[in-house]
Amino acid sequence: MFKAFSRTLFSSHRLFNCTLNPQKPLRFTLALMSTAASAAAVKRVGTHNGSFHCDEALGCFMIRLTKKFSDAHIVRTRDPQVLETLDAVLDVGGVYDPSTDRYDHHQKGFVEVFGHGFNTKLSSAGLVYKHFGKEIIAKELDVDEDHPDVHRLFLVVYKSFMEAIDAIDNGINQYDTDQPPRYVNNTHLSSRVGKFNLDWIDPDQSAENENAAFQRAMVLAGSEFLDNVRSHARSWLPARSIVMNCLEARLDVDTSGEIMVLNRFCPWKLHLFELEEEMKISPPIKYVLYQDDRSKSWRVQAMAVAPDRFESRKALPAQWRGLRDDELSRETGIPGCVFVHMSGFIGGNQTYEGALAMAKAALKL
């Protein structure tokens, strides 16, 4: 089902067809390109030289996964005359025009977003993903682009991976706050890609060395992108049918329809939100029960109000929170209780029957 893209990751000897220097005459630049790419059939994708960021490194990687730009040569320059000759241009040039494969986002008046409920302004990577993401995912799944699984993965990969890259590149804070952050996070992908830039004390500041660093950045960003797609395809997507079946059987668990039991633990939260809306579930699920694979005890998890929120639709009762074992069992009147978290978002019992009794009691309190 899944196709390998190792040829993309390891075809480094064909990645850059030339080293461009905007200080040198155009005649010399074009001569370099003619020598390195004598076959006109090989497409050329341009991005700027100098310091690079995650968005153009990932954008260049992704666009080379497409049929139109398969294994295209990457040309790094800011020379506008050179950029005009290229088949596609990312993150430079001041033009966004998918009809001519121009994908810059720095120009005045640029407000393009991904859509589908997402409002973060796109970077060059987001633009490439918006126009080519479905093709890339369909190739990975080995299905047609109009397959419903492609659209589902298209959205979830943007939410879980791409949107952060767009936001960071455009300087959009993750939270609205007038306070400084409590800690610094330099471990995210955009930060790690940035560390591939040449250090100011590096004795070799040549364009060749810079291009080699950009190539390593492409490999890192691209491999994590593909890992994200494949993880969602192999793990997250198959869970949808499990959640759907359990949701349909909710009335067999409790006549309230507000308790769902997962017969097999899997990634369920986002699926449940989507399926509730699609299936017009009312009243919505308040508690989800599932067995802990390690302890074999059962969990009672309160459903959050939204996928990205910590607040619960109906947290477990305040009088239960922070209690454990016998003390909790005495308070609830239910044997076998293990714990209830201080926030009330989750609790546990040694048996399924006990966990279900906790959920039913919590609905009434």
CA distance 344 to 39: 65
- DSSP letter for 309, please: -
Instruction: Give residue-wise pLDDT tens across range 79-113.
Output: 999 999 999 999 999 999 999 999 999 999 999 99
- DSSP letter for 99, please: G
Q: Give the per-residue pLDDT at 32.
A: 44
Of 164, 96, 94, the C-alpha closest to 128 is: 96
231 Cβ partners below 8 Å, 6+ apart? none
Q: Give the per-residue pLDDT at 152.
A: 94
Start-end of H helices in the chain? 6-10, 26-36, 54-63, 80-84, 124-141, 148-157, 163-169, 189-194, 207-231, 239-248, 250-253, 269-278, 325-332, 352-364
- Name residue, tokens 């499990």: 242
Q: Give the per-residue pLDDT at 35.
A: 46
CA distances to 324, 328, 340, 346 from 343, in Å: 14, 15, 8, 8
- DSSP letter for 314, please: S
224 Cβ partners below 8 Å, 6+ apart? 161, 189
The residues pairing with 90 across neighbouring beta strands, listed in sequence order, are: 47, 103
Q: Give the per-residue pLDDT at 174.
A: 85
Q: Give the per-residue pLDDT at 16.
A: 58
Angle between helices 124-141 and 54-63 (to 10 degrees): 40
Of 358, 241, 364, the C-alpha closest to 301 is: 358
Residues of the chain below pLDDT 70:
1-40
One-character DSSP codes across 118-137:
EEEEP-HHHHHHHHHHHHHH
